[in-house]
């Protein structure tokens, strides 16, 4: 794979998890909030929100970087 293409795809693979993580963070309340403000303001809910957002972003980053650098070791 060409070096320029590898760099561009690498940048995309790094920025994509940020965009997806931000969307997941914004929509987390809609998916898992249960409509209960007291629960949504608790530390337990906030830690679940942070943990799941980081997990989703990390998995997408891992997949993206693996796909970009899979064939560029030659």
pTM, two decimals, is: 0.78
Query: pLDDT grade, residue 34 (50/70/90)?
Result: confident
In a domain, 73, yes or no: no
Which pLDDT score, from 0 to 100, does residue 71 have?
Answer: 63
In a domain, 74, yes or no: no
Report the distance separating Cα 29 and Cα 50, nearest Å.
12
Range of the domain at 51: 3-68
More confident site: 23 or 40: 23
Indicate the number of domains in the chain: 1
Q: Looking at residues 25-38, what average pLDDT do you find? A: 82
Q: Determine contact, residues 33/40, Cβ cutoff 8 Å.
A: yes
More confident site: 66 or 36: 66
In a domain, 30, yes or no: yes
In a domain, 20, yes or no: yes
Query: pLDDT grade, residue 38 (50/70/90)?
Result: confident
How many CA atoms does the CB half-sphere of 49 hold within 13 Å?
20
In a domain, 16, yes or no: yes
């Amino acid at each position: 794979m060409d070096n320029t293409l590898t760099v561009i795809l690498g940048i995309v693979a790094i920025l994509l998890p940020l965009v997806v993580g931000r969307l997941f963070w914004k929509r987390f309340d809609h998916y898992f909030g249960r409509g209960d403000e007291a629960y949504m303001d608790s530390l337990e809910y906030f830690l679940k929100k942070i943990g799941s957002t980081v997990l989703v972003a990390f998995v997408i980053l891992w997949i993206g970087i693996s796909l970009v650098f899979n064939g560029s070791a030659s």
